[in-house]
Amino acid sequence: MASEQTKKHPYHMVEPSPWPAIGTLAAFIMAIGGVWYMKGGTIYLFATGLLILFWVSYRWWRDVVAESRNGVDHTNVVRLGLRMGMVLFIASEVMFFFAFFWAYFHSSMPIFSLVAPESWPPKGVVPLDAWSVPFLNTVILLSSGATVTFAHHALLQGNAKKTARWLLLTVLLGLTFTGFQAYEYVHATFTFTGGIYSSTFYLATGFHGFHVIVGTIFLFVCWRRAKAEHFTPEAHVGFEAAAWYWHFVDVVWLFLFVWVYWWGGSGAVAG
C-alpha cells in the first residue's frame, strides 16, 4: 500500500472496486427475474441474480476483511466510522419493521381502520399459543443474546478459543430458533393467503426470520474469523457489528412476541 508512507490523514482511501457495479447488476437481474417469476415464469433468472449477489457479497467483504488486517487502512478513526455506519444501518432496519408493526396495529384495531375485522384475531382464525413454541423461541433467542455477550467478554480477554466456542453456541441457538419457526409455519392452521391476520403475521415474523438467518450467517463468519484469530481485544469491528445486529433481531422478536403472539393471540379486541 502506497499510502503507508504518504498518507497524512487517518482515513481509508479505498481502491477502485468492481463489486459495487457487479452487485448492482445482480440486483437488477433479481428485479427482472423476480417479476418474471411472479408473472408465472421460471425462478432461474432470479436465482442467478441471487447467486451473483452472494458471490459479490463474499468477495466484497473478503476485501474488507483483508483491509482490516493489513495494519494500515483500519485506523481508530476508520473503525469508529464503521461502527457508526452499522448503528445507522440498524436504525434504518428498525424503521423497516416499524412499517410492518404499523400495518399490524392499523389492521387489528378498529380505531385506526374503518374496515378492520370486528375482533382480533378475526373470526375463524386459531392463533398460535404464545406460551408454547413462541415462548420457547423467546428463551432461545434471549439466551443467544447472552452467549454472544460471553463471546465478547472472552474476546476482550484475548481468549480466541473461548470466543469461538461461545460464538458457535450462538450460531447453533440461532439455527434452533429458525428451525422452530419453520415448524410453527408448517403447523399453523391459518394459511399465508388467509386474509389480514395471516398477512400481518407472516410478513412481520417472516421478515424477522429472514433477519435471524442473515444474523446467523454474520455470526457464523465471525466464528470462523475468531478461530482464525482475526480479532484483537482492541479491534474487532466485525464482531461488534454482528453482535449489535443480533441484539437488534432479538429486540424485534420481543416486540413480536409481546404484541403479535401474546396480545394479538389473546382475543384482546373482542367481537
Partner 1 sequence: MANETTVAEAAPAKAHGNGHENGHGHHPTGWRRWLFSTNHKDIGTMYIVLSLVAALVGGAMSFLIRLELAEPGIQYNLFWLDNEAAYLQFYNVLVTGHGFIMVFFVVMPAMIGGFGNWFVPLLIGAPDMAFPRMNNISFWLLAASLVLLLIAAFTQGGPGTGWTVYPPLSNAEFHPGAAVDLGILSLHLAGASSVLGAVNFITTIFNMRAPGLVIHRMPLFVWAILVTAFLLLLAIPVLAGALTMLLTDRNFGTAFFDAARGGDPVLWQQLFWFFGHPEVYIIIIPAFGIISQVISTFSKKPIFGYLGMAYAMVFIGFVGFIVWAHHLYTSGLDVDTRAYFVSATLIIAVPTGIKIFSWLATMWGGSIDFRTPMLFACGFIFLFVMGGVTGVALANAGMDIAFHDTYFVVAHFHYVMAIAAVFAMFAGFYYWIGKMSGRQYPRVLARVHFWMFFIGVNVVFFPQHFLGMAGMPRRIPDYPDAYAGWNYVSSVGSYLTTASTLLFFYIIWRTLRSGEKVAANQWGEGATTLEWTVDSPAPFHTHEDLPDMREKQPAE
Interface with partner 1 (CB under 8 A): 1-3, 5-9, 11, 13-21, 23-25, 27-28, 31-32, 34-35, 38-39, 60, 77, 80-81, 84-85, 88-89, 91-100, 102-103, 106-107, 113-117, 122, 192-193, 195-200, 202-203
Considering beta carbons, is residue 172 or 203 the nearer one to partner 1?
203
Q: How many CB atoms lie within 10 A of CB 95?
A: 8
Considering beta carbons, is residue 38 or 139 the nearer one to partner 1?
38
Question: How far, in Å, CA of 163 to CA of 154, rounded?
Answer: 5
Question: How far, in Å, CA of 123 to CA of 69, rounded?
Answer: 58
Q: In this structure, is the dihedral angle defined by the CA atoms of residues 135, 140, 144 and 147, taken in order, positive or negative?
A: positive
Least separation in angstroms between residue 210's CB and partner 1 is 11
Considering beta carbons, is residue 31 or 139 the nearer one to partner 1?
31
* Chain length of the chain: 271
Least separation in angstroms between residue 170's CB and partner 1 is 26
φ/ψ bin of 201: left (φ > 0), alpha (ψ from -120 to 50), beta (otherwise): alpha
Least separation in angstroms between residue 182's CB and partner 1 is 18
Indicate the residue type of 218.
F
Considering beta carbons, is residue 37 or 263 the nearer one to partner 1?
37
Least separation in angstroms between residue 192's CB and partner 1 is 7
Least separation in angstroms between residue 19's CB and partner 1 is 7
Q: How many CB atoms lie within 10 A of CB 221?
A: 19
Considering beta carbons, is residue 101 or 180 the nearer one to partner 1?
101
Considering beta carbons, is residue 31 or 136 the nearer one to partner 1?
31
φ/ψ bin of 71: left (φ > 0), alpha (ψ from -120 to 50), beta (otherwise): left
Least separation in angstroms between residue 150's CB and partner 1 is 30
Q: Hey, what's the cell of 217?
A: 450467517
Omega of the bond leading into 122 within 30 degrees of 0 (cis): no
DSSP structure string for 34-65: HHHHHTT--SHHHHHHHHHHHHHHHHHHHHHH
Residue with cell 378475526: 122
Least separation in angstroms between residue 29's CB and partner 1 is 10
Considering beta carbons, is residue 3 or 176 the nearer one to partner 1?
3
